[in-house]
Amino acid sequence: MSALGELQRLRGGGGAAARKRDNKAAAVFLLPWFVGLFVITVGPIAASFALGFTDYNLIQAPSFSGLDNFTRMLSDSRLHASLGVTFRYVGISVPLQLACALALALLLDRGLRGLAFYRSMFYLPSLLGSSVAIAVLWRQIFGADGLINQVLSMVGIEGRGWISDPSTALSTLIVLNVWTFGAPMVIFLAGLRQIPRMYYEAAATDGAGRWTQFWRITLPLLSPIIFFNLVLQVIHAFQSFTQAFVVSGGSGGPSDSTLFYTLYLYQRGFNNFDMGYASALAWLLLVIIAGFTVLNFWAAKYWVFYDD
């Protein structure tokens, strides 16, 4: 064997040993992640699925009840009420939030000075919107003696208890969710920056106005970003909990007007110690979110344009 062949053989052997050492090191570093995945995520998911078929009160051992928890949902009037509240919340707040986010992104994309400052200011509510502190603040603002009624009284308008009135309580939570438009706005702004300016220049040369450019260029080319934000925000809205819990004091009131699905699930599990039924409710929520996600992906082929 030549000297060059011997050198290649030694290098190959050394490379295999090095790869083996690297693989062992990677396995050691990944081990905590896998332990966390199975203990914190996969394990509770499997336990929740199993508990959905049991009668379990957190004190006594669970007993198998078959499909009783799922058939019980059909006659649960408060569950139906929570579904109605959640669907209204998602159906109104998500489109309004995306519209506000897109409008602000279009404004910021026009080359304003201090763009980084405005972007940070508008993004800040997204970080705080689901916090307990903001929910408490919202309760104070829309209370009977809150800021909104004080401003209205200055112009001679008598306010109301926006949170204590069943006809307006849900609207205050919708406003809170719309206010957290910063995250989708930043994504819209990044998408607008990717649209080639030559399209607008060519359209302007042909006499197209700003409105025509928006409908014929901006919206079609931004449709993948709109779709991405829509999917994310729908999933996020279905899981809303903190705002309704804090504003209603955990009751979902007044008159179940803010009884979000997740809040009702929490009440069944931790107020009524009905964990078997709560687990079944959690899986129903998963099916609902998955159904809406699949529906969004199916509808996307009719309105999302990919510039290949």
> Rounded to 5 degrees, what angle do the CA atoms 125, 131, 133 make?
95
The residues near 220 (Cβ < 8 Å, ≥ 6 apart) are: 305
What's the average model confidence in pLDDT over 121-147? 78
Q: Is the pLDDT of residue 164 over 90?
A: no
List, for residues 76-96, the tens digit of each pLDDT value: 999 999 999 999 999 999 999
Three-state SS annotation for 93-108 = HHHHHHHHHHHHHHHH
Question: Does the N-terminal peptide bond of residue 224 adopt cis geometry, omega within 30 degrees of 0?
Answer: no
Q: Compute the distance between CA of residue 58 and CA of residue 178 in angstroms, rounded to an integer.
A: 37
Pick the residue with more confidence: 209 or 10? 209
List, for residues 32-75, the tens digit of each pLDDT value: 999 999 998 999 999 999 999 999 998 899 999 999 999 999 99
Q: Compute the distance between CA of residue 6 and CA of residue 3 in angstroms, rounded to an integer.
A: 5
Q: Is the pLDDT of residue 223 over 70?
A: yes
Q: Token pair of 138, please? A: 């919202």
In the prediction, which pLDDT does 264 show? 96
In the prediction, which pLDDT does 226 show? 96
Q: Is the pLDDT of residue 115 over 80?
A: no
Alpha carbon separation from 235 to 46, 87, 216, 282, 292 (Å, rounded): 21, 12, 29, 14, 8
In the prediction, which pLDDT does 58 show? 86
In the prediction, which pLDDT does 156 show? 83
Q: Is the pLDDT of residue 302 over 70?
A: yes
> Rounded to 5 degrees, what angle do the CA atoms 283, 286, 288 make?
115
> From the centroid of its chain, how far is CA 289?
11
Q: Compute the distance between CA of residue 288 and CA of residue 294 in angstroms, rounded to an integer.
A: 10
In the prediction, which pLDDT does 11 show? 55
What top-level class would CATH report for the domain 79-250+283-301? mainly alpha
Quick one: pLDDT band at residue 225, thresholds 50, 70, 90? very high
In the prediction, which pLDDT does 7 show? 54
Residue spans of the domains in the chain: they are: 79-250+283-301
The residues near 39 (Cβ < 8 Å, ≥ 6 apart) are: none
Place of tokens 């409008």: 103
Of 32, 186, 173, 198, give the one whose Cα is nearest residue 90: 173
In the prediction, which pLDDT does 130 show? 65
Q: Is the pLDDT of residue 299 over 90?
A: yes
Q: Is the pLDDT of residue 2 over 70?
A: no
List, for residues 226-274, the tens digit of each pLDDT value: 999 999 999 999 999 988 998 888 888 888 999 999 999 999 999 999 9
Residue 65 DSSP symbol: -
Q: Please give the span between the terminal C-alpha atoms of the chain, in angstroms, as a whole number.
A: 54
In the prediction, which pLDDT does 287 show? 96
In the prediction, which pLDDT does 161 show? 83
Amino acid at 200: Y
Q: Is the pLDDT of residue 117 over 90?
A: no
In the prediction, which pLDDT does 14 show? 63
223 burial class (0-12, 13-18, 19+ CB within 10 angstroms)?
middle
Q: How many helices (H) and strands (E) does the chain have?
A: 15, 2
Task: Round the average pLDDT of the chain to a whole number and report it.
Answer: 88
Quick one: pLDDT band at residue 9, thresholds 50, 70, 90? low
